[in-house]
Amino acid sequence: MTNANQQRAVTAAFAPPPPLWKQFTRGNLDRLEQIKTEASTDKNSHHDREKELTPSELRALGLPPELRFLMPPETPTGQYPVFGEQQALSTKLPPLKEQGIEQLYPDPVTVSEQDPSKPFPPLSHAYYLLKISKSLLLNFLEFLDILSVSPEQFESKVDDMRNLFINAHHLINLYRPHQARESLIMMLEEQLARSKEKINQIGKVKADIEITLDQLEAEGNQIRSAAQAEGVCQPQEDVRRAIEHSRLAWYLLDQGN
């Protein structure tokens, strides 16, 4: 009975969380941090805050059972389970031939395999996708014809259409690395455009501030020249104007930000 329950829990579409989550309590976390601190302290009682223990070093400390679940698992090397199914760690798309499926298009020729004296055109995905689409349409018409004449012979034609769909899907998946590169390029171009726009806005605000400062300097020179020509000293008026000009300059800076 227990094995059956475990099997249902593993193969369920949304498996329940493993029971080890109950060990992630505040008390256990504090105990683990204390053990890490003690392990990173040298013989002279100096604690190295920058040193971080690796999972293998933590497992070598001989932690109690309730704290072992708090350590990260070992890095998988080949395959890892997901909802009871083994998934390959490699992101390389396996060929159809390795999966026991008939491949309806030629293998792409790599640079190492290509003969320089005999140039070989690259694999045209769009060309073979179009051919597979036309073959699917033809096979579907033949499938309807079989159903109208002898429905019991439908299985072979269904297998043919299934093989065509798998090949088309595999060809589309071959485009995934190219799609990822183009998506990254587009994101970087958008980020660069936003950065350039911000730089242009900063340049415009800088130019406005420089014009305002030049105007203030010109007005100050005019006032100074007029005061020297008349021989009249107006310290209070100069202070008031200087304060107003400073306020105007700070206002423009705030508007630019």
Q: What is the pLDDT of residues 54-64, one digit of tens each?
A: 777 777 777 88
Binned at pLDDT 50, 70 and 90, residue 184 comes out as very high
Residue 131 lies in a domain: yes
Give the residues across from 88 on adjacent strands.
Answer: 79
Contact 228, 238 (CB under 8 A): no
Tell me, yes or no, whether 141 and 184 share the same domain: no
- Which two structure tokens, joined as six digits, stand for 184? 């990254």
Residue 9 lies in a domain: no
Provide the CA 168 distance to its chain's centre, in angstroms. 27
- Which two structure tokens, joined as six digits, stand for 159? 């297998």
66/158: higher pLDDT = 158
Contact 238, 223 (CB under 8 A): yes
Judged against a pLDDT cut of 80, whether residue 112 lies above it is answered with no
pLDDT per residue as tens digits for the range 190-239: 999 999 999 999 999 999 888 988 888 888 788 777 777 665 555 566 66
Please, where are the H alpha helices in 150-175?
A: 154-173
Could you list the residue range(s) of the whole structural domain that residue 68 is in? Answer: 17-74
Which of 71, 83, 73, 74 lies closest to 17, judged by CA? Answer: 83
Residue 140 lies in a domain: yes
Tell me, yes or no, whether 103 and 149 share the same domain: yes
Tell me, yes or no, whether 183 and 170 share the same domain: no
Tell me, yes or no, whether 159 and 195 share the same domain: no
Chain position carrying tokens 């020729």:
109
Tell me, yes or no, whether 184 and 240 share the same domain: yes
Tell me, yes or no, whether 156 and 182 share the same domain: no
Host H or E run for residue 80: strand 79-82
Number of domains in the chain: 3
**DSSP three-state, residue 246:** helix
Give the residues across from 8 on adjacent strands.
Answer: none
Tell me, yes or no, whether 162 and 230 share the same domain: no
Tell me, yes or no, whether 30 and 69 share the same domain: yes
Tell me, yes or no, whether 186 and 242 share the same domain: yes
Q: How far apart are alpha carbons 129 and 171 in whole angstroms?
A: 7
Binned at pLDDT 50, 70 and 90, residue 116 comes out as low
41/137: higher pLDDT = 137
- pLDDT in the model for residue 1: 45
Tell me, yes or no, whether 168 and 186 share the same domain: no
Residue 81 lies in a domain: no
Tell me, yes or no, whether 252 and 183 share the same domain: yes
Tell me, yes or no, whether 170 and 127 share the same domain: yes
Binned at pLDDT 50, 70 and 90, residue 164 comes out as very high
